[in-house]
Structure 1
Amino acid sequence: MRRTALLALALASLPALLAAQTGAPRYQPWGLELKDMDRSVKPGDDFYNYALGTWLRDHPIPADKVGAGYNYDLPDEIEDQVRRIVEQAAATPTSPTASKVGDFYAAWMDDRAIEAHGLAPLKPWLARIDAVQTRPQLIQLMMRPGYAAPINIGISTDADDPTHYMADAGQARLGLPTRDYYLLTGEKYDAIRRAYRAYLIRLQDLAGISDAAAKTDRIIALETRLSQDQWTPEQRRDPVKTHNPMTRTQLTALAPEMDWTPTLAAMGLGGAAKVNVSEPSAVAAASKRLGDVPLSTWKEWMTVRFLSNAAPFLPKAFDQANFDFYSKTLRGVPEQRARWKRGMALIDDALGEAVGAIYVQQYWSPATQAKADELVADMQAAYKDKIDAATWMDDATRKAALAKLATFDPRVGHPKKWIDYSTLTVSRTDPLANNLAVADFQWRLQLQRFPKPVDRGLWYMTPQTVNAYYDPTMNQITLPAAILQPPFFDASADPAVNYAETGATTIGHEMGHGFDDQGRQFDESGRLRDWWSKDTAAKYNVQADRLANQFDQYEPIPGVHIKGRLTLGENLADLGGLETAYAAYRRYVARHGEPPVLNGMTGDQRFFLAFAQAWQGKRRDEAVRQQLLSDPHSPDKYRVNGIVRNFGPWYRAFDVKPGDAMYLPPEQRVSIWH
């Protein structure tokens, strides 16, 4: 799985870009690894295994990883680059911010000091929980950075007025990944719940907390009760149902136990006239639990949640217990990652833009930015052609869609203005305090922005992140520097490869999010508004429903199917990205002539092969289970097979016919833009 709100880039076709190509592509012979293919597989029976079967068979998953493939290999390379930056900052800092980067890393890496300090760094944080005597005190402590709460309160963009921020409240994540882990029946889930219970007992034993088993049973009973009232991941994808602005009076009527006025004031949100409640019934139910569950049980729950979150920063026994449950049991990973590698992830979260500013200086070039800008423009033109030609759209909806496309705001490489870390305090000896200081710093940053207009220059990923995203409230796509390199960006590769690997799976995909089942409900300014005619929306929904039903049928691991509604947005973006990138590629061919046959493959065959290989990946079964229960992205294989079987040009390229396992009759194929 490459990206969470997957945008990435598209290497395109522009003649100027092609003229500038020099050298050989990194992946051979023309941008792909043909040795990864399994030609004994018939393309129409299993296209993913045809494209990647040899790699899938012969490439093991490293012992310290949840999966293998391009989306794991490239981050490893970036990690090495960032490590050199961080270690230099630790050894010879050149600025106060660099000193903070070095101190943060040094504190994390000094595992001997962590062992020597024992429980001492933990005690003042747990003492605050012990000191709670009343429900109002409990709620106010829950809302402090670093502590767990059954209701999350934060700040986001106002969907009614995307030029301003708004306070929001919603259901909080519990100790297990999703409500399904508490509620599903069967031995597999019983075993996970037993392991979770053992983990919570182990944490309390290590912390010297008495009567751990009885406390754990009360904690799990509380979380199970909370999970029963929480919304499913599918329900939480609905931008209309999760947009419920409420006044203080309405909040109090919905969830009186939260004491909204003093609670918001204590958080620095006393001036918030309204709060958006994303899951009203879940918030109301959690509020009731604050009133009817004993204060002592809530304190036990907060203590264990704090221990669990703090475990990686505590002596090895805590860290190992956390790894054994969350990585080994829940995701099937047998070995802990090297400490320095985990440190890179922590620094990316804590001081990511401080490192990013150095990363950009060393690894980013204006030439790459110029190429990427051209690629975005190329795919934007292809989408315009598709919208113009969409026979199912009426004129009014088409006009609005074109306006939205024209106002897409692509950001490439890195922020223009960097975060100021001058008010962040970092210790060279206490990694737990550093982690909590970061949480407090990030909350204070949000509070500073809250009364001001929305800052469209903010980035929610660092330049060294191999990822990208689309923000519907900004109508904005963001493409960090780190992803603009092979295998996802290679100016020397065959145009067919570039159109598929980057045009389809990245820029085309991300632009497609602006028109998926969620994104299509936001207009060109990012406002949540129904700009579709009823007839056009009905025609769109027929196709969307059919795609959801198709994916419901896929069963990646025994007993667990893909959730077609949960993954619908990503699947629609995958299909729309493929359709549009292929159209852009054929436009290129029309300008430059039919490409030669290479290694026995036509240009169209290379295009679809590249699309498949762009999703090179395999994951451990337990990680796939967690993905299927909670993640809006389908497993890699189905992002290929589940998509191409709906697309006529793929059938023609590989002569797929009735009787082939992936064949769908034309009337059963889903069409968005073709």
Structure 2
Amino acid sequence: MRPTSLAVSLIALAISITSATTASAAPQYGDFGVDTAGMDKSVKPGDDFFSYGNGAWVKKTQIPADRAGWGSFQILDDLSRARTRAIIEAAAKGGNSGDADARRVGTYYSTFMDEAAIEAKGIAAIKPELDRIAAISTRADLARALGSDERVAVPGPFYVGVEQDPKNPERYMVGMGQSGLGMPDRDYYLVDTPKFVETRTKYLAHIAAMFRLAGMTDADARAKAVYDLEKAIAQAHWTQVENRDPIKTYNLRSPAALAAEAPGLDWPVFFAAAGVGNQTRFDVAQPSAFTGTAKLVADRPLAVWKDYLALRTLKARADELPKAFVAENFAFDGTVLSGQPDQRARWKRGVDAVNDAMGEAVGQLYVAKYFTPDAKAKIDALVHNLLSSMGERIDQVSWMSPATKVEARAKLATFNPKIGYPTKWRDYSKLKVVAGDAVGNATRADAFEYDRNLAKLGGPLDRTEWGMTPMTINAYYNPPMNEIVFPAAILQPPFFDPDADSAVNYGAIGVVIGHEISHGFDDQGRQYDAKGALRDWWTSADATAFTARANKLIAQYDAYEPLPGTHIKGALTLGENIADLAGLRIAYEAYQLSLHGKPAPVIDGLTGDQRFFLGYAQVWRGKRRDAAVLSQLTSNPHSPEKERVFEVRNFGPWYDAFDVKPGDKLYLKPDDRVRIW
């Protein structure tokens, strides 16, 4: 039932986020939930609110050598990984020996960690795959290899997977998209900035080094041919901004139509090898990229394609190969692309490998130990009531017509919150894990996951499925499912601390929840209706009004220059920026209502509103290496942490809280502030 007023709907929220004045223990950060020692009070809030909230921390904090960046998310990620390690190592030592999944987890991990055995096997572990590639003698063989590689997560030029039909989300279908590059994005191959040119030179050397480690002769010339092939693939690729358009990337094709549109690849052979030969419809995300790349399959020498496949296979299994492969792969992927000096310890990579292979088997053990029913109840209440807050936002916006508001309200009413962990755990009984076979375990785990997804074709929609493990420090919104998902591990300080001041919790986890809710109404999410179907349910006037506001936000973020000469792509990051802005407003209004008309207490000289915004700034506390920032700016839909904090400049209460005036660097005239929800 729709609440009669926001005040009524948020009573539970006011109770759920505990105030420091009634807390029974000290918060983890500072006296009230904010690490005030990490602030830089010499900076005017109106000049640089990120540095005001986090500047001292940034100055004194060194990014760990095994990290491309460090901050709130990474600190919790390390904690989650350490906890998961203890669970996995207990399984590896025989704990929970009667549990088949625990045995699989333990065997997988201990095999991955046995570097001596991996070293002793040498290249022999991957030789059957390299021999299979070497035996390719026809274009049909090549198509078969490209298709079969999809089943074991060796990325080729086309991605194949199972998705909900965007226009009929109650059924599954096969989705396909462009893929196949060894660097993060087409820009790395095609844009001639000094940094990209330098990276290309290092990538070419990396390909040759991988070939030499595999015993391949004439490595430099063969590496150049593979690089040239990848560059040609990149030239056919769509841009990241184009890929954000759900209408343009929805293109139904029959096998015959795709073969006619993209000649050069033996599509029937490819589909059969990929396990989808019986399917009659495919959603092809970037048709012109398929046309261009299929032509390369026909035109480029077979020997070059074989070397391309060898490189993709070596890189996909590098962590399960001898140390020389591990080091060389990290030297490029880690150090060159992310600026990371040292590789993470083997145990950390082992935990990640197990989580990738059997994440829900580990997650079930994790939740039992670290996620209490009380914690789940608190986040349940937060999500429920912030959904109500979003409803009030929809009702109050002046630019949306009543007809569209009815549809928006209907969509909000069908949101499905998933909190903490799945209600149905995955069955890993068919996954074969063999002691001493690290490469085989990784290959079988990838094939198991691929086949698990294929089995959904033709069946009913599974609304219980999760796209993240409970140990993940993140959250997401899924448009076709119309669901918001919050894994257990994110409900920790600085995101949520039951012993912190309520204002800080609203500014932190409250904004995160509001952010995910509002993704249903950002530039992408708004194109899906209450049933999760890709359908235009907006009046043309409402769509025009929304776009005008969104374009102001694009222009605002286009102007930010996190690296000299490299700006944020406002169109690429638009969805996340809209969600940050909406999340701030939703959570702030919820906080105000939680006060029940009474003034917030002043704590350490800070008002309630000031603590709210500092809670928000603290969530985005972080710093990254320049190479990692470049990669993010090129291909990631999220803005860097600092510029995410700058979202406050669009929000009037922040100006009042910190007395921001004309002349301050972040000041915007009221008419220039973006307000969407």
Q: Name the TM-score, length of structure 2 as normaliser.
A: 0.96
Give the match for residue 102 of structure 1. Answer: 106
Once residues 61 and 142 of structure 1 are traced to their aligned partners in structure 2, the CA distance between those partners, rounded to angstroms, is 39
Q: Could you list the per-position Cα deviations for residues 308-331 of structure 1 after superposition, in whole angstroms to 9, with x for gaps in the alignment?
A: 222221111110001111111111
1:511 to 488, 498, 517: 517
Give the match for residue 596 of structure 1. Answer: 601
1:523 to 522, 529, 532: 529
The offset of 1:507, in angstroms, is 0.7
Once residues 304 and 15 of structure 1 are traced to their aligned partners in structure 2, the CA distance between those partners, rounded to angstroms, is 56
Residues 171 and 230 of structure 1 are in contact (CA less than 8 Å); yes or no, is this contact kept in structure 2?
yes
Residue 277 of structure 2 corresponds to residue 270 of structure 1? yes
Give the match for residue 424 of structure 1. Answer: 431
Once residues 16 and 558 of structure 1 are traced to their aligned partners in structure 2, the CA distance between those partners, rounded to angstroms, is 44
The offset of 1:651, in angstroms, is 0.8
Residue 608 of structure 2 corresponds to residue 606 of structure 1? no
Give the match for residue 128 of structure 1. Answer: 132
The offset of 1:17, in angstroms, is 5.1
Which SS does the other structure have where 1:152 is aligned? strand
Residues 180 and 230 of structure 2 are in contact (CA less than 8 Å); yes or no, is this contact kept in structure 1?
no
Once residues 38 and 563 of structure 1 are traced to their aligned partners in structure 2, the CA distance between those partners, rounded to angstroms, is 29
Please tell me the residue identity of whatever aligns with 2:616: F
Which SS does the other structure have where 1:258 is aligned? coil
Give the match for residue 14 of structure 2. Answer: 14
Q: Could you list the per-position Cα deviations for residues 453-503 of structure 1 after superposition, in whole angstroms to 9, with x for gaps in the alignment?
A: 221101111111111111000000111111112111112211111111011
The offset of 1:592, in angstroms, is 5.2
Residues 168 and 276 of structure 1 are in contact (CA less than 8 Å); yes or no, is this contact kept in structure 2?
yes
Once residues 584 and 300 of structure 1 are traced to their aligned partners in structure 2, the CA distance between those partners, rounded to angstroms, is 57
2:41 to 39, 42, 46: 39
Give the match for residue 219 of structure 1. Answer: 226
Superposition RMSD on alpha carbons, in Å?
Answer: 1.5
Q: Could you list the per-position Cα deviations for residues 599-640 of structure 1 after superposition, in whole angstroms to 9, with x for gaps in the alignment?
A: 111111111111111111101111000000000000000001
Which SS does the other structure have where 1:624 is aligned? helix
Residues 11 and 502 of structure 1 are in contact (CA less than 8 Å); yes or no, is this contact kept in structure 2?
no
Q: Runs ≥4 in structure 1, deviation > 6 angstroms?
A: none
Please tell me the residue identity of whatever aligns with 2:79: E
Change (3 A) 1:11 1:388: closer
Once residues 308 and 11 of structure 1 are traced to their aligned partners in structure 2, the CA distance between those partners, rounded to angstroms, is 53
Task: Describe how 1:140-539 pairs up with structure 2 within 5 A.
Answer: 140-144=144-148, 145-146=151-152, 147-504=154-511, 506-539=512-545
Once residues 628 and 117 of structure 1 are traced to their aligned partners in structure 2, the CA distance between those partners, rounded to angstroms, is 40
Once residues 369 and 653 of structure 2 are traced to their aligned partners in structure 1, the CA distance between those partners, rounded to angstroms, is 42
Once residues 514 and 361 of structure 2 are traced to their aligned partners in structure 1, the CA distance between those partners, rounded to angstroms, is 31
Percent of aligned pairs with the same amino acid: 47
Comparing 246-255 with 507-516, which one deviates more in the overlay? 246-255
The offset of 1:94, in angstroms, is 2.9
Give the match for residue 3 of structure 1. Answer: none
Give the match for residue 62 of structure 1. Answer: 64
Once residues 52 and 496 of structure 1 are traced to their aligned partners in structure 2, the CA distance between those partners, rounded to angstroms, is 18
Please tell me the residue identity of whatever aligns with 1:564: G
Once residues 200 and 424 of structure 1 are traced to their aligned partners in structure 2, the CA distance between those partners, rounded to angstroms, is 32
Residues 155 and 450 of structure 1 are in contact (CA less than 8 Å); yes or no, is this contact kept in structure 2?
yes
Once residues 185 and 671 of structure 2 are traced to their aligned partners in structure 1, the CA distance between those partners, rounded to angstroms, is 37
Which SS does the other structure have where 1:256 is aligned? coil
Once residues 645 and 539 of structure 1 are traced to their aligned partners in structure 2, the CA distance between those partners, rounded to angstroms, is 21
Residue 121 of structure 2 corresponds to residue 117 of structure 1? yes
The offset of 1:11, in angstroms, is 13
Give the match for residue 551 of structure 2. Answer: 545
Please tell me the residue identity of whatever aligns with 2:220: A
Once residues 15 and 360 of structure 1 are traced to their aligned partners in structure 2, the CA distance between those partners, rounded to angstroms, is 24
2:662 to 658, 661, 669: 658
Give the match for residue 74 of structure 1. Answer: 76
Q: Could you list the per-position Cα deviations for residues 375-403 of structure 1 after superposition, in whole angstroms to 9, with x for gaps in the alignment?
A: 01111111111111111110110000111
Once residues 44 and 209 of structure 1 are traced to their aligned partners in structure 2, the CA distance between those partners, rounded to angstroms, is 59
Which SS does the other structure have where 1:153 is aligned? strand
Please tell me the residue identity of whatever aligns with 2:294: S
Give the match for residue 566 of structure 1. Answer: 572
1:137 to 134, 141, 153: 141
The offset of 1:21, in angstroms, is 4.2
Q: Could you list the per-position Cα deviations for residues 235-285 of structure 1 after superposition, in whole angstroms to 9, with x for gaps in the alignment?
A: 100000000111223212211333333432333223322100000110111
Change (3 A) 1:271 1:16: same
2:648 to 644, 651, 654: 644
Please tell me the residue identity of whatever aligns with 1:542: A
The offset of 1:159, in angstroms, is 0.4
Residues 229 and 282 of structure 1 are in contact (CA less than 8 Å); yes or no, is this contact kept in structure 2?
yes
Change (3 A) 1:11 1:287: farther
Once residues 358 and 154 of structure 1 are traced to their aligned partners in structure 2, the CA distance between those partners, rounded to angstroms, is 29
Once residues 93 and 256 of structure 2 are traced to their aligned partners in structure 1, the CA distance between those partners, rounded to angstroms, is 55
* Aligned length, in residue pairs: 661
Once residues 321 and 351 of structure 1 are traced to their aligned partners in structure 2, the CA distance between those partners, rounded to angstroms, is 27
The offset of 1:16, in angstroms, is 5.5
Once residues 393 and 652 of structure 1 are traced to their aligned partners in structure 2, the CA distance between those partners, rounded to angstroms, is 27
Residues 357 and 442 of structure 2 are in contact (CA less than 8 Å); yes or no, is this contact kept in structure 1?
yes
Q: Could you list the per-position Cα deviations for residues 134-170 of structure 1 after superposition, in whole angstroms to 9, with x for gaps in the alignment?
A: 1112111111123342112221110011111111121
The offset of 1:189, in angstroms, is 1.6
Residues 489 and 498 of structure 1 are in contact (CA less than 8 Å); yes or no, is this contact kept in structure 2?
yes
Residues 11 and 372 of structure 1 are in contact (CA less than 8 Å); yes or no, is this contact kept in structure 2?
no
Q: Could you list the per-position Cα deviations for residues 519-569 of structure 1 after superposition, in whole angstroms to 9, with x for gaps in the alignment?
A: 000001100000010001111100100100110011101111100000000
The offset of 1:417, in angstroms, is 1.1
Once residues 544 and 447 of structure 1 are traced to their aligned partners in structure 2, the CA distance between those partners, rounded to angstroms, is 38
Give the match for residue 672 of structure 2. Answer: 668
Please tell me the residue identity of whatever aligns with 1:578: L
The offset of 1:348, in angstroms, is 0.7
The offset of 1:187, in angstroms, is 2.5
Comparing 141-150 with 596-605, which one deviates more in the overlay? 141-150
The offset of 1:54, in angstroms, is 0.4
Residues 11 and 489 of structure 1 are in contact (CA less than 8 Å); yes or no, is this contact kept in structure 2?
no
Q: Could you list the per-position Cα deviations for residues 397-453 of structure 1 after superposition, in whole angstroms to 9, with x for gaps in the alignment?
A: 000011111111001111111111111111211211111111111111011111202
Comparing 523-532 with 87-96, which one deviates more in the overlay? 87-96
Please tell me the residue identity of whatever aligns with 1:465: T
Gaps of 5+ in 2: 1-9
Once residues 249 and 211 of structure 1 are traced to their aligned partners in structure 2, the CA distance between those partners, rounded to angstroms, is 40
Residues 327 and 333 of structure 1 are in contact (CA less than 8 Å); yes or no, is this contact kept in structure 2?
yes
1:50 to 45, 52, 59: 52
Give the match for residue 615 of structure 1. Answer: 620
